[in-house]
Structure formats: structure tokens, C-alpha cells
Amino acid sequence: MQRQFEVTRRDGAARLGTLRWRGEELTTPSSFESKEELEFLNGLTIQKAELDVAVITSQEDSRAERIDADVVILGGAPRFSDDPRGLTKALARARESANPDSALYVPTLATPNNVSLLVYAGVDLVDPIMAEVKAREGYLLSAEGERQFDAVSRSYCMCDACRGVNVADLTPEQRVTVLSAHNRHALKTELCIVRENIERGTLRELVEARCRTAPMLTALLRLLDEEHSYFERRSPIVRTATLLACSQESLNRPEILRFGERVIERLNKRGGILILLPCSARKPYSRSRSHRIILNRLGKLRQFLHEAIITSPIGIVPRGLEIMYPASNYDIPVTGKWTCDESEWVIGRLTKYLEANAFDTVVAHVSGPYRKVCDEAAAALGVDLIYTVEDENILGSASLQRLCAVVQERIVEDSLKRRDLRFDYLQDLADYEFGPHASTAIFAERTKVRGLFPTYYASDGGTRIATIVGTYCTLALTIEGARRYRRASENRYCVHIDDFVPKGTVFAIGVLNADPGIRPFDEVIVLNERVIAVGRALMSGWEMQASKRGAAVAVRHVDAR
């Protein structure tokens, strides 16, 4: 049977897709509208349908084999209307049980207020049943919540159903008609907004804004964030959109947690001097005024230093990762103060970072809340940090003079050797993207680094190995670089395909096996009998194996020999 649903774009667990049915194409996420559609999808006319439909109960555990159908319906969904914890578990269980090629339909729950959260959790199809129920109860729905129709002014909404309507002049039957038309229109409008945000990669920002309007939605988002592995394995490694961290819930975003974990687990430094610096509004930090002043004052001394930036909500950003998402592209409300949750999070990140790396000396050129973070981390580890800021002014002449003097003294005492700062970017990106010690496998001691910040590239004996690509500022391997990593990686970040030479795109149908650790936009190595191509993943590795449709890898270099 020809499959009728295909995912075309992903934003974490949310997807844009196309559902083909009865000669028409429906762009998802979407709402079924007609009586015929609703009867069909609630199982009344499945035997007459052109779609393959399956039902999963909300209590059912994830199956050993995924449900393979065009549409998978979450049965019993209405019972979770006031149970955010139960709904969280049911949505994750249903999405995990369904094949990635299946559209997940959750009936009787969607309203304009909550549909963005449902889609964020992985729902593809909804219906206007709850909007209709609320209309009969006398509620006018919007993305901001619900209001009694009697309390609404005549100018509250300018949709076709509400324009020019005077509430006092309507009969009860007319009120239901107006409310029904308005609520359906509001749901469709919100779905249009949701689709636009998926396209731009900003659905999380929309969800955080919507959840501020109702305690139930805030609870649901916080509970969804507890399903970290569910969202992390679907979240892209990079985005072009700016990450807006405007609420406490932003601290729990999958990409922020993943970045912090990788910095601790994959980047390990031994010896040398670490300089801790405060963050800046401009990204990357080294292009900001404050960092340029500090770095220019340090001058050639930087060749002996490791640098890390303390920031909320990211935590700790090693200098080599300042060009990597999300550190390269985030924005926060600047008040000069951190909340208790922010401080606790950043203290925890700094503590783990210092614990995981064996620096000989740690110099903290910080003030204000950054000083408190450093004090708490140092106390937790029982270590001493050297503070160099005088009079709370990190750019003051006395502060900069003391910073240079301390660094110069430690360089002489420890007999430190110069490093290529450009090489640090390549090495840190390699370890961050591919795992601990990946840089050792990819680069040799004789590797030469050239290029202008941030698009450096590495060559060995005249053969290019890797380049920092400008679009995402990630490390892209050449065929030679892929071979080097492959010999030491045990199939990490590898996609095994059938016996063919890819041209432009590898589709999921041609994938035999893939590393489940691959995430969307990861750099991957394509293999059959040998390393045949390198490119960028368009879906997670586990999804490449489970899917039969859709683009899996955008190929960049091919070895057609």
C-alpha cells in the first residue's frame, strides 16, 4: 500500500508534513474540519478509507515494533484534559510507539491556547471538537485563553464570524453559531502560526509565550521538559534562529542541556591556565567591545591560555565553542541580576567544568553576579581562584594590568608553550560534534590551519581535512577527514547505505543502518563498503532506520571511485 503521509521538516518533536487523502494534500500540523473527516478518523468509516489507520490506547506501553500506519490515533485522549502529567506520558508513549512516518492524531483536546504545545510534543493532527464544546458552553476561545462570551466587547475580534456582532442582540442559538465559527477560525489561525514557527525553527519560543497564559499549560511544558531524552533525540544540533531565553523554562530547553552536557563530557583539558570571562550581548563574544578590549590587552599572552565564558542560560562556553549554536545565537533579558534558578544552574555548570578539566591555574576576570558564581564553584571544589578585577570594573586599567601581570607570572612559572588559537576552534568543535578525543583522530601534529575567523580550515600535507562552514559554524569533514575519524570511531556518526553512489541526497529508504546518536544537522559519514560520502543529517539516526520516506542525509562530498 502506498504511504500517504510524509514529514517534510522538523523542529524537535514537531513536524511539518503532507497527508494525501482522496486526491487532496493536507499540510500538517492541521485540524480536520468536516463531519466526514471526523467520522472517518474516529473509526466510523475506516473500512472505506484510503488511509491506513491504527489506534493506540493511552495506557499502552511502547511496543517492540513500532505501529506502521498513515495515521495513528491516541485513544482515550479526552481523559487527560485536566491531567498534564498523564497527558505528557501518553503523548510521549504514543509518539514513540508510532513509526516516524506516521501522523499522530490526538482527538478532542485541541484549543487555540494549547495546540502549539500539543504540536511541540509531536502531535500532527487535531480536530475542532473541543472548540465546538466550548462554543456550546458559551466560551470564546483565543490563543490567550478563553472568555465568557457575555463578557466580551463587540470589538474583541474582527474575524468574519464576530465582525459587527452585538452580544446582547443574539439569541442562544445564534450565540452558539457565532462562537462555533469563531472558535474554529481561531484554531485554524493558531495552526497557521504554529506551522510558520516550525518553518523558522522557533516553535519553542511560541510555546513558552503561550504557556504564560494558563497554569495548566505551564505545568504541561515543565512536565514535557522532564522527558529530556524524548526531545533531545529529536532536536537539531544547530539552528539559524536566535534562541530567546525569556523565561525560567528556557533553562530546560533540550539544546541548552545538551550543550552543557557535551562541554563537560566531550571537552577535556589538561594543564595550563584558564581565564574565566563574563558574557557579552554581542555574539560571538570575541567580537563584542568588552571582549575585544580584554583580548587586545592580553595580546600574545592568549597563545598560552584557555578561555571560557560564564553565561546564563548556557552555563560555560569554552572559547572554541563560541561560534557553535546555541552559544553563538541566543538572547536573554539583561537586568544585571540573575534569578536563583539561573545562578544555581550556572554554578553547577562551572563546578562540573572545573572538576572535569585539570587546569593548573584558574584566573577569574569577573565581577558582580559572575564573582558570586565563581566563589560558589570554588567553595564546592575546595580550590582557589585568582581574581583580577579591581573596583568591579573588568575593563578598568588597574584590572587589565593585574590580569596581564598574573598571566605573565604563571606562564613563566609553568614554562607553558604557545598554541595556535585557530587550531583550538577546530579541536573543540571536533570533540564537541564527534565525541571525546575525536580531534586527535582527525588532526595530526603537522596539521596547518588557515582562513579568517570563524571559517578556519585544516590541511595536512596539502590535503584539506576539515573546514568550519559559515552557515552554522560547525566542523565539516572532507572525505580524507572522514576516513581518519572512521578508523578510530567504531561507526559513530556513520550512516550505512545500500550499494549505490549517492548524488545530492540519501533518502531514508536507502539507509541500512545508522548511529542512533546522530541528530538533525549533525555531520555524518556515509558508508557502504567504504567511506563514500560526507554530509549533513536531515533526521536523527534512529529515525533514518525506522523511516521509509524522506531525506536522511544532504550529501556534500562524494568519493565516486
Q: Are strands 139-142 and 305-311 parallel, antiparallel or unpaired?
A: unpaired
In a domain, 169, yes or no: yes
Poorest-pLDDT segment among 6-15, 298-307, 382-391, 485-494: 485-494
Question: What confidence category does residue 436 fall into, taking pLDDT thresholds of 50, 70 and 90?
Answer: very high
Q: Residue 70 and residue 87: Cα distance in Å, rounded?
A: 22
**In terms of pLDDT, which residue wins out, 172 or 265?**
265
Q: Residue 8 and residue 25: Cα distance in Å, rounded?
A: 13
For residue 365, pLDDT over 80 is answered with: yes
Question: Do 406 and 308 belong together in one domain?
Answer: yes
Question: Do 395 and 438 belong together in one domain?
Answer: no
Question: Do 105 and 169 belong together in one domain?
Answer: yes
Residue 462 is part of a domain; what is its CATH number? Answer: 2.30.130.10
Q: Residue 515 and residue 500: Cα distance in Å, rounded?
A: 19
In a domain, 424, yes or no: no
Range of the domain at 338: 267-414
- Cα separation values, 177 from 37, 101, 182, Å: 20, 37, 9
Question: Do 168 and 195 belong together in one domain?
Answer: yes
Q: Are the C-beta atoms of residues 326 and 256 closer than 8 Å to each other?
A: yes
pLDDT for the residue numbered 78? 86
pTM of the complete model: 0.92
Question: Do 410 and 473 belong together in one domain?
Answer: no
Extract the C-alpha cell encoding 4. 500517504
Helix (H) or strand (E) segment spanning residue 552: strand 551-558
pLDDT for the residue numbered 126? 95
**In terms of pLDDT, which residue wins out, 50 or 292?**
292
The half-sphere exposure of 393 on its side-chain side, counting CA atoms within 13 A, is 8
Q: Which of 229, 250, 280 is the last residue of a domain?
A: 229
pLDDT for the residue numbered 60? 58
Structure confidence by residue, pLDDT tens digits, 238-295: 999 999 998 889 999 999 999 999 999 999 888 899 999 999 999 999 999 999 999 9
Q: What is the mean pLDDT of residues 305-312?
A: 96
Question: Do 100 and 136 belong together in one domain?
Answer: yes
Which pairs with CB-CB distance under 8 Å and at least 24 residues apart come from 403-406? Answer: 403/275, 403/294, 403/297, 403/298, 403/363, 403/365, 404/297, 404/298, 404/301, 406/363
Q: Which of 414, 441, 471 is the last residue of a domain?
A: 414
Question: What confidence category does residue 217 fall into, taking pLDDT thresholds of 50, 70 and 90?
Answer: very high
Question: Do 307 and 350 belong together in one domain?
Answer: yes
pLDDT for the residue numbered 55? 85
For residue 230, pLDDT over 60 is answered with: yes
Q: For 94, which DSSP code?
A: H
Nearest Cα neighbor of 259 from 421, 427, 429 is: 429
Extract the C-alpha cell encoding 285. 563574544
- Could you tell me which residues come within 8 angstroms of residue 239 by beta carbon, excluding any fewer than 6 positions away? 201, 255, 325, 326, 329
In a domain, 253, yes or no: no
Q: Are the C-beta atoms of residues 518 and 544 closer than 8 Å to each other?
A: yes
Q: Which of 199, 229, 259 is the last residue of a domain?
A: 229
Question: Do 335 and 458 belong together in one domain?
Answer: no
Q: What is the mean pLDDT of residues 26-33?
A: 90
Q: What is the mean pLDDT of residues 375-399?
A: 95
Q: Residue 485 and residue 491: Cα distance in Å, rounded?
A: 9
Residue 131 is part of a domain; what is its CATH number? Answer: 3.20.20.105
Question: Do 394 and 437 belong together in one domain?
Answer: no
Q: Residue 336 and residue 334: Cα distance in Å, rounded?
A: 6
For residue 58, pLDDT over 80 is answered with: no
Nearest Cα neighbor of 239 from 207, 267, 211, 198 is: 198
> Considering the chain, what is the average pLDDT of its residues?
90
Q: Are the C-beta atoms of residues 469 and 325 closer than 8 Å to each other?
A: no
Neighbour tally for 531: CB within 10 Å: 21
Q: Which phi and psi (to 5°) does residue 337 adopt?
A: -135, 150
Q: Residue 512 and residue 498: Cα distance in Å, rounded?
A: 6
Q: Are the C-beta atoms of residues 313 and 208 closer than 8 Å to each other?
A: no
Question: What confidence category does residue 35 fall into, taking pLDDT thresholds of 50, 70 and 90?
Answer: low
pLDDT for the residue numbered 397? 96
Neighbour tally for 445: CB within 10 Å: 5
Question: Do 198 and 311 belong together in one domain?
Answer: no
Question: What confidence category does residue 415 fall into, taking pLDDT thresholds of 50, 70 and 90?
Answer: confident
Q: Which phi and psi (to 5°) does residue 511 adopt?
A: -90, 125
Residue 277 is part of a domain; what is its CATH number? Answer: 3.40.50.10630
Structure confidence by residue, pLDDT tens digits, 520-536: 999 999 999 899 999 99
Nearest Cα neighbor of 318 from 330, 328, 332, 306 is: 306
Q: Residue 436 and residue 231: Cα distance in Å, rounded?
A: 23
**In terms of pLDDT, which residue wins out, 497 or 40?**
497
In a domain, 239, yes or no: no
In a domain, 251, yes or no: no
Extract the C-alpha cell encoding 49. 478509507
Question: Do 167 and 35 belong together in one domain?
Answer: yes
Q: Which phi and psi (to 5°) does residue 410 adopt?
A: -70, -35
β-partners of residue 467 are 457, 476
**In terms of pLDDT, which residue wins out, 158 or 117?**
117
pLDDT for the residue numbered 45? 43
Q: Looking at 96-210, which runs of residues are DSSP E strands?
A: 103-105, 125-126, 139-142, 145-148
Tally of structural domains, the chain: 3
Q: Are the C-beta atoms of residues 430 and 442 closer than 8 Å to each other?
A: yes
Nearest Cα neighbor of 411 from 316, 311, 272 is: 272
Extract the C-alpha cell encoding 308. 571560557
Q: Residue 290 and residue 288: Cα distance in Å, rounded?
A: 6
In a domain, 286, yes or no: yes
β-partners of residue 9 are 16
In a domain, 210, yes or no: yes
Q: Looking at 71-213, which runs of residues are DSSP E strands?
A: 71-75, 103-105, 125-126, 139-142, 145-148
In a domain, 341, yes or no: yes
Q: What is the mean pLDDT of residues 347-375?
A: 95
Question: Do 23 and 144 belong together in one domain?
Answer: yes
